Amino acid sequence: MARRQREKRLDPPERVTVTLGEMAYEGGAVAHENGRTMFIDYGLPGETVLAELQRERAGVFFGRVVEVLTEDRDRITPKCGYFGECGGCQWQHIAYPRQLQLKGEIVRQQLRRIGGFDDPPVSSTVGAKDPWGYRNHIRFTAKARGDIGFVRRGTHRFLRVDECKIADPWINSALPVLQGHGSGLHQVAIRRGVNTGEVMVQPDVSHIDPSLPAPVKFYHEELLGYRFRISGASFFQTNTPQAERLISLVRDRLDPQPHETLADAYAGVGTFAVILAPFVKRVIAIEESAAAVVDALINVAETPNIEYHKGKVEDVLPSIPEGIDCLILDPPRMGAHPRAIEAVIATHPERIAYVSCDPATLARDIRLLVKGGYELQDVTPVDMFPQTYHIECVASLRTH
């Protein structure tokens, strides 16, 4: 087995003047100089910049913009004073409409390069109504002296923060109360139900100040009028308004019918299953995470046409005796297991909505589904993570 190439820090860093090309997935712009390929953070395509190369891996160099020599018209002043030090946001220097455009271009790029689609059908990116203050779940690092913050980008060094521009307002209101009192803590995770007002903080910090909530094992959030219980170990979307738009998009693309059976693979706490259950005869939900299943069984308890199965998609899906008409695939970032893709192809639902948070693994899996007899009809990026390079997509496929 080939060894993975080690990353090497350049000491001292090297400075080069380059003109930036297309934006790459993971946020940097591509540049070429003297036969070398570089990925430069904090730039924009077409800009000429002075860049500092800091790392090298397998002959590819990584760095950041030090000075903009020729500025793109969509470059703006970042809203956050920590931008460039904190690793949470990578694109605050880009006007929001251009962020949406770039995300669509990156999805096309991945579908062409990895999926082999010459002209992928990518729709316009669904933008957020408010690209700030949206993040309902933040995990802070705590230092021994009590400071709260994040880890500096590309390092293990601590960065104290007193405000996060993309965090939910309640989280920002709690931060000054916690600041300076994190002694003895390693991390502090805050999750808030935007539509319910419920808050969960882990670990217990209620002793720091009476305004901080008492410890709870779970909290609730509402999406499109449906209420969901979420425990600390369960995944839930970090952008509530955009999660509602994502669910509506999946419903529209899948077009479930009253006589049909819907399978919800990687079903989590039951979000898609519960909200789409009224549109179909039967829902078969599959989830491997024990914590998510505990939450899901409570969330689906009053929806009798949902069957919830604990296990791997690749094991459970082939055991379903009746036919499946439509399917939601919503795997983690690594994408669907190859055996899960095989099981989907063997089960042969007429329509598939593939929800992905990684365009590269999405492109890989869609190619496998197309080889298995499906036609890719549309990929719509949904901006769940404004100011960052992260991209969520809904891909629609149908049998030939």
- The residue with tokens 């080690």 is 6
CA distance 310 to 313: 9
Look at residues 310, 311, 315 and name the one whose alpha carbon lies nearest to residue 300.
310
Look at residues 290, 293, 274 and name the one whose alpha carbon lies nearest to residue 228.
274
Give me the amino acid identity at 287: E
List of E strands, the chain? 8-19, 29-33, 36-41, 48-57, 60-70, 137-142, 148-151, 158-160, 187-192, 199-202, 218-223, 226-231, 261-265, 282-287, 306-310, 326-329, 351-356, 374-382, 392-399
Catalytic member of 89, 164, 357, 393? 357
Q: 364 phi and psi, to 5 degrees?
A: -60, -50
Helix ranges (H only) for 237-337 are: 240-254, 271-276, 290-299, 313-316
Query: Quick one: tokens of 90?
Result: 């990578």
CA distance 128 to 369: 30
Q: Is 357 a catalytic residue?
A: yes
Give me the amino acid identity at 362: L
Q: What is the DSSP code string of 38-95?
A: EEEET--TT-EEEEEEEEEETTEEEEEEEEEEE--TTB---S-TTBTTBSS-S-TTB-
CA distance 398 to 378: 10
How, if at all, do strands 306-310 and 282-287 pair?
parallel
| Interior/surface letters 174-208, b for 16+ CB within 10 angstroms, e for the rest | bbeebbebbeebeebebbbbbbeebbbbbeebeeb
DSSP 8-state assignment for residue 122: B
- Residues annotated as catalytic are 357
